[in-house]
Amino acid sequence: MTRVLVVNAGSSSLKLRLLGADDTVERSAEDLAEVRDWPAPDAVGHRIVHGGTRFTDPVLVDPDVRTALDELTALAPLHQPKSLDGLDAVSELYPDVPAVACFDTAFHTTIPDAAATYAIPAQWRERYAIRRYGFHGLSHAGCSRRVAELTGARRIVTAHLGAGASLCAVLDGRSVDTTMGFTPLEGLVMATRSGSVDPGLVLWLTEHEGLSPHEVAETLEKRSGLLALAGTADLREIDADSLAMQVYVHRIAASVASMAVSAGGLEALAFTGGVGENAAVVRTKVAERLAFLGVAVDDDGTTDGEVTARDAAVRTLVVPAREDLEIARGTRAALHVHGGR
């Protein structure tokens, strides 16, 4: 099996890449109609946001799996339907080509119970499968693997910064903590998402201001974050010394320090994602806040490479996000398990 069509369906975008046997990008598009003129793939790999507790590795999609994925929609109502729409559309186009689901939550299933468990009644945790799942796992897995190859580091923190944003603590190639939790709303300040807020605030808004749970959720998801702080969700339009930038950087730096605790130290820090790769000002400001951990950068604005300052104890890198490579890797592994189908 050589050629893999990678389908990455986000909440507001669709990215399609056809990768050859050596992972060379043969075709790329953002419209499914274009795929009809491409060479037929040997397999299709899909990014699926949520795998719940059942799916901890890439899996060949069959009717049972497809039904199970649909049942997980309640855990990621903004993202899962788009992923499944992409799965169905491409499966209709290539009905005889095996499809593999690769999960954003899977990389984080190795997080220890101490980091994954919420301090809420056991009956809630068990009945509703409530735990810290984490997301962006495909990006964190690929990024941390690349950092380990380049540096030999064992204790790594990866920062996936884009419209959505999260950090991951990686120890010896395994996720041991992350900033997103039961939903992708927890953690860092994002483009339109608030990140972590006091749960008491949510209760106060519903009880004292009469806002419905739906109104609160919509506001925290779509009208908060950088948009609420600066009037724009585009970091490129935000002044480097503004309150919005200060809040954004503060949350990232504080969370990197927290992730370092989970990893038992910090040997390498890697930035990836649209902001992580392109916003040198963010990397520099975060590094300044983390000087006490040995982080220092000499950042010339590179979008791919090392930016570690001379004599810094922690190596800092910029790694292009290549979720497509991680999906192709997972797709081939899943098909190998199923006898090369």
Token couple for 310: 């001379």
SS3 state of residue 315: strand
| Spans of all domains in the chain | 4-103, 137-318
**Cα–Cα–Cα angle for 325, 101, 277, nearest 5°?**
35
- Which residue is listed with tokens 């010339």? 300
pLDDT value at residue 2:
81
- Which residue is listed with tokens 């509703």? 128
Q: State the DSSP H helix or E strand holding residue 249, giving kind and residue range, or none if neither.
A: helix 243-263
- Which residue is listed with tokens 């975008």? 13
Residue 78 CB burial class (10 angstroms; 0-12, 13-18, ≥19): middle
pLDDT value at residue 215:
97
Domain covering 4-103 in this structure, CATH number: 3.30.420.40
Q: State the DSSP H helix or E strand holding residue 65, giving kind and residue range, or none if neither.
A: helix 63-71
The fold of the 137-318 domain, in CATH, is Nucleotidyltransferase; domain 5 (3.30.420)
d(CA 193, CA 225): 5
d(CA 128, CA 130): 5
d(CA 306, CA 312): 12
DSSP character at residue 105: T
HSE (CB half, 13 Å, CA atoms) of 105? 23
pLDDT value at residue 337:
81
Q: Find the catalytic residue in 104, 177, 299, 324.
A: 104
pLDDT value at residue 104:
96
Enumerate residues 6+ apart whose C-beta is below 8 A from 200. Answer: none
d(CA 184, CA 154): 26
The tens-digit pLDDT sequence of the chain (341 residues) is 689 999 998 766 789 999 999 999 999 999 999 999 999 999 999 999 999 999 999 999 999 999 999 999 988 887 899 899 999 999 999 999 999 999 999 999 999 999 999 999 999 999 999 999 999 999 999 999 999 999 999 999 999 999 999 999 999 999 999 999 999 999 999 999 999 999 999 999 999 999 999 999 999 999 999 999 999 999 999 999 999 999 999 999 999 999 999 999 999 999 999 999 999 999 999 999 999 999 999 999 999 999 999 999 999 999 999 999 999 999 999 998 876 54
Is it true that 4-103 and 137-318 share their CATH fold?
A: yes
Asked about 177 being catalytic, the answer comes back as no
